[in-house]
Amino acid sequence: MSEILETTDRYRWFCPITTRWMDNDVYGHVNNVTYYSYFDSAANLFLIREGGLDIVTSPVIGVVVESRCTYREAVAYPDAIRAGVRVDKLGNRSVTYGIGIFRENGEQACAHGYFVHVFVDRGTRHAVPIPEKIRSALQTIVV
């Protein structure tokens, strides 16, 4: 089975990521777990900037319930990289993002995967419908 090549044209929204010295591991490249931090940062930045999420006071928040990453090419501090974000599946209470990590001017993903948010009431942590403003923003990046 052949895998679809993850290129920038498959993503709808991008943000720069600043690699840090501490991201590198003893092998001289960004450690695998750090990519999940990049995924989390990119998805939440989209929700904040485009969906109006206030991470401190919003009554509804997104919590991660599933994630996966496939690594294709190592990056290392001080590489300039960016995250591409799209919506692969938009449900009533959850969203599955496709996220790719690209070199600043690169077209092929160095790493890619998915990230699932379930939207919950901040206090009770019970699943609730995605707020309309966030849903509208997410719809703009559905593929």
Mean pLDDT of the chain: 96
Q: Does residue 129 have a cis bond before it (omega within 30 degrees)? A: no
Sheet holding 60-71, edge to edge: 13-18, 80-90, 94-103, 111-121, 60-71
What is the topology classification, in CATH, of domain 11-139?
Thiol Ester Dehydrase; Chain A (3.10.129)
The per-residue pLDDT for 100 is 98
Cα 47 from Cα 41, distance rounded (Å):
10
Structure tokens at 81: 């990289």
User: 4 falls in which pLDDT band (50, 70, 90)?
Assistant: confident
pTM flag (> 0.85): yes
Q: Tens digit of pLDDT for each residue in 88-103?
A: 999 999 999 999 999 9
Cα 143 from Cα 130, distance rounded (Å):
18
pLDDT at 19 over 50: yes
Which 3 state secondary structure label does DSSP give 110? coil
The per-residue pLDDT for 1 is 44
Q: Angle of helix 132-139 relative to helix 32-51, nearest 10 degrees?
A: 110
Per-domain residue ranges of the chain? 11-139
pLDDT at 2 over 60: no
Q: Tens digit of pLDDT for each residue in 90-139?
A: 999 999 999 999 999 999 999 999 999 999 999 999 999 999 999 999 99
Q: What's the rounded mean pLDDT across residues 21-40?
A: 96
pLDDT at 12 over 80: yes
Cα 120 from Cα 103, distance rounded (Å):
34
